[in-house]
Structure 1
Amino acid sequence: MKRARPRWGTWLLVLAIGVALGLAALFLVPVVAGTGTPKAVEPAAVPPVVSQARPTALPPLDPGAPQPETGVLGAGLDKILSSVEPDSTVSGSVIDIATGAEVYSRSGAQAGIPASSLKVLTAIAATDVLGEDHRFTTKVLLKDPQTLVLVGGGDVLLGSGKDSTAVSGRAGLETLAAQAAKEILKEQAAGRLGPDLSLELDDSLFTGPGLNPAWDNSLVTTNNISVVAPLALYGARADAGPKAPRVKDPAMAAATSFAKSLRTALGNGADAPRLAADIARGQAGEGATELASVASAPLGEQIRFMLEVSDNYVAETLGRLTAIAQGSPGDYQHGAQAVKEKIAELGIHSEALELIDTSGLADGNRVSPQTLADALKFAATSNHASLRDLSYQLPLAGATGTLGARLNAANTRGIVRAKTGSLVDVSSLTGITVTKDGRALAFSFMVHSHNGELAPHKDTLDAAATYLTGCGCR
């Protein structure tokens, strides 16, 4: 139902308000902007490979690029967004990034169901609170001479093997087991450890229900989400495959994988420590000794992964971790509240904002297109490079993630960056593009239908983004 940065160091001022020209990241590939009314384009059988260009190959945005005339822009967008059936609701907002002015609104301040576009807000809140270089640590502690404890610290993209260069699997449980085994053997040789050991799992960092009661059970059975825990393999999936099924108890699955690797690392000699078969849940408590640890990919890389593949599990985890970092409990209610409060604190338009989760799975979430477009404008013009990086982390049209096979025409491919959203009866598209005249625009469009279709009229939303990109609108 749902579906991983180049960083350019140079950001230039755009107009008097100091808008950062890091938005030139939108031009990750050289393309020719289209002109005139957008036309339907037959997608290629195999999407062309879009290679990343070096920053020096890309022209900077023109600080003097003309702003679209609202009347012309509105007429074109209204024509596109009015093409859906009468009982569908379409809303949208377009913000000129240089000035912060809303240059188009179709019920833009009215809250709608954002679906996965909500992840934009989660990304901003988590980045602002935790910092893009933050890493989550998974530890093995020695609780007493007979008890080891595997402690989850928020990394739900653990791998079962050795440390990896990939975001998902960066910290490997096989590596953790090898480090722990080395220390265990030292302790045993010193007489501080008995021959029989047990393993406990400490996943107490998160509290409350692992499943949000607002989620329909079908979201679990269709592998969109699983019980949210502070440690998991591959985003709670059975293996590293992007479409692999989610496991029912992600934390215990990770503990089981670790125990298997630890037995191998300890060896099977006559004097080797014996690890009990059963794994119980417990807590290390005060005074436990750390034996080994592994660290996740940096938060910025995890956010890019989350946004590109629209990973609900990572999004839900980041909401809870944001709450914990601010001194609140790590449950779904406080996760949603932490994101909502942070968005308001940053000065992003949030009058109609109501959050039930931090992934967008709940159809009770309410976010206006204006909030989402304003959030992207805020991030793109932030004084903090970590927030400006959000422009790089969104899927790239015709190239990456959930936009890999969308907006693949010559005048949008490599230019539009956007977060998609898909639920039954709901489709959304929230992103940044640059007009043919070089003007950067943040946009968000939503459609709510009533025919039971998954992601209805996403072609209409793509057409609106195409129009923005190809429009001088003067």
Structure 2
Amino acid sequence: MNGWTRRGFMAGLGLLALAPRMAAAQQAAPAGFDAEALVAGADLGGAVGWAVIDPASGQLMAERQADGPMAPASTLKAVTALYALDRLGEGHRFATRVIRAGNTLILAGGGDPVLDTDALDALAAATVADEQAAGRAAPTALAVWGGALPRIGRLDPAQDEHLPYNPSISGMILNFNRVHLDWRRGDKGYQLSLQARGRKLSPRAYTASVAAVDRALPLFTYEAGKLESWTIARRSLGKSGSRWLPVRRPELYAGDVFQTLCRARGLALPNPEVIEILPEGVEIARHESPELRRIVRDMMEYSTNLTAEVIGLAASRAGDTAVSAASMADWLRGQGIAGDFAFHDHSGLSPRNRVTARVLAQLVAGPGAARGLRGLMKTIPLRDAQGKRKQSDIAVEAKTGTLNFVSNLAGYAQRPGGRELAFAILTGDEPRRAASEGQELPEGVTGWTKRSKTLQQALIEGWVGEFGAPAIATAAPELEGRP
């Protein structure tokens, strides 16, 4: 079971199953803070639910509306992380290959979600070196294959076209399928450029174009023709700036950049073409991604939607996102976690996803604790009333989740030497979320989200103060010695 012991896993599930009964017998009402007063003071409207569990014993420490299904947003990535690690293995790597098939050179994507321009340059260098060493004639065709994963036009069609966190997916991925737009105003107007920006190299992206147009709105327009053609509202630009734009033709984008990188090393290649079937040939160069655990850790820190979708699709080997998300839900039930939940993607971007605070807390306390999920989560600093990071001995490692009028947090909290707490806090105003769907920053959402985060912190500090003393062993005797 990839590092789990069967005894520990089954005992953990048994303790989680006992949690409601243990809570009824052992839970004491918090005396040091008034959780309901905090909820009222946050003035969020909608629903506020939470569940707090002691992972060591399975004891339910606190709950409020814990079984109400709500939008998980990016806290769903905690489920995706554990699902992918379990199905693929922590050491799994994604390979991008270059194959020679007769006179055709093939760039074959293997679904690497973190391939960037610098890594592609290393692959180009290895390709050119092999071609030169073998003394072959220059290829007469450059093909790009992305069939290792299904091709998906947009993660969420309801989101705006220009949002960089809503890109397209295929088995060929470069720079998270984003292109970097940079603009500066000069004497003759605006100079705009689109680049395949890496950490060191930033070649021009020839498969996309951008133009500034004299208008106020819309901010961007997109049209797919021979090129991916963008326009941007000139009145919004200011003196200079930059941002990422999504790529909708990832195979051609990667092939174009690969062609540029090879040309810089002396190998001239034809323009890339997309192929649907990968022919047999000889592999002449390969790049492998970091191990999956590192990819997952970065995904949890930066909340990268594309990475979540890719590793989820790779884990399920499904032909589309809906089937893949349903497979992940079945996997979660197989971990002994029951409840009202439904998944429609792996990133949490879809507003149709639903989960309960109890389900998330059980995931964190059970399979998450067994798999070392805490070490993959981002440190969440506690802040004072002015928003500045404050001195506190409470360590919080958790996953955030944010949509318009949705703000969630799920993870672990602990004081040095004290009891570790696994928690999930879900807050959401569904009518306001639905009314603002597709808007990048609707009116009122900034203040609402700030109040939610303030509430989350106050709850965590209260729970650690009340329940965070060193735990007393409470393992159920009847579980001892079970296989």
Note whether the superposition's TM-score is higher than 0.5.
yes
Please tell me whether residue 398 in structure 1 is matched to residue 381 in structure 2: yes
Q: What's 1:464 paired with?
A: 459
Match of 2:39 among 81, 88, 92: 81
Match of 1:345 among 331, 334, 357: 334
Q: What's 1:409 paired with?
A: 390
Please tell me whether residue 439 in structure 1 is matched to residue 424 in structure 2: no
Q: How does 1:31-110 map to 2 (within 5 A)?
A: 69-72=27-30, 76-85=34-43, 87-110=45-68
Render the CA deviation track for 1:216-239: whole Å, top value 9, x for unaligned: 232x42322200122322322322
Q: List alignment gaps of at least 5 residues for structure 1.
A: 1-8, 20-66, 162-171, 268-272, 400-404
| 2: CA distance, partners of 1:407 / 1:418 | 19
SS at match of 2:269: strand
Residue 96 (structure 1) shift = 1.2
| 2: CA distance, partners of 1:306 / 1:196 | 37
Render the CA deviation track for 1:66-118: whole Å, top value 9, x for unaligned: x9943117963333233333732111111111111222121112211111111
Please tell me whether residue 430 in structure 1 is matched to residue 373 in structure 2: no
SS at match of 2:113: strand
| 2: CA distance, partners of 1:139 / 1:300 | 22
Letter in 2 for 1:195: A
8 Å Cα contact 2:247-2:253 kept in structure 1: yes
Residue 473 (structure 1) shift = 7.4
| 2: CA distance, partners of 1:406 / 1:282 | 51
8 Å Cα contact 1:397-1:407 kept in structure 2: no
8 Å Cα contact 2:99-2:107 kept in structure 1: yes
Please tell me whether residue 374 in structure 1 is matched to residue 355 in structure 2: no
Superposition TM-score, scaled by structure 2 size = 0.71
| 1: CA distance, partners of 2:360 / 2:162 | 29
Q: How many residues align?
A: 376
Structure of higher RCO (CA pairs closer than 8 Å, 6+ residues apart): 1
Residue 333 (structure 1) shift = 1.6
| 1: CA distance, partners of 2:11 / 2:420 | 14
Match of 1:157 among 108, 114, 117: 114
Q: How does 1:100-179 map to 2 (within 5 A)?
A: 100-144=58-102, 146-161=103-118, 172-179=119-126
Comparing 100-109 and 434-443, the one that deviates more: 434-443
| 1: CA distance, partners of 2:458 / 2:11 | 31
The alpha-carbon distance between structure 1 residues 86 and 128, as it changes in their structure 2 partners (threshold 3 A), is closer
Q: How does 1:234-313 map to 2 (within 5 A)?
A: 234-238=175-179, 239-240=197-198, 244-265=244-265, 267=266, 274-276=268-270, 278-283=271-276, 285-313=278-306
Letter in 1 for 2:350: A
More strand by share: 2
Residue 319 (structure 1) shift = 1.3
8 Å Cα contact 1:17-1:98 kept in structure 2: no
The alpha-carbon distance between structure 1 residues 82 and 350, as it changes in their structure 2 partners (threshold 3 A), is farther
The alpha-carbon distance between structure 1 residues 299 and 422, as it changes in their structure 2 partners (threshold 3 A), is same
The alpha-carbon distance between structure 1 residues 317 and 151, as it changes in their structure 2 partners (threshold 3 A), is same
SS at match of 1:158: coil
Letter in 2 for 1:155: D
SS at match of 2:51: strand
Residue 253 (structure 1) shift = 1.9
| 1: CA distance, partners of 2:120 / 2:11 | 48
Letter in 2 for 1:123: A
Letter in 2 for 1:112: M
Q: What's 2:322 paired with?
A: 333
Q: What's 2:220 paired with?
A: none
| 2: CA distance, partners of 1:68 / 1:160 | 56
What is the identity percentage for the equivalent residue pairs of Structure 1 and Structure 2? Answer: 25
| 2: CA distance, partners of 1:86 / 1:310 | 24
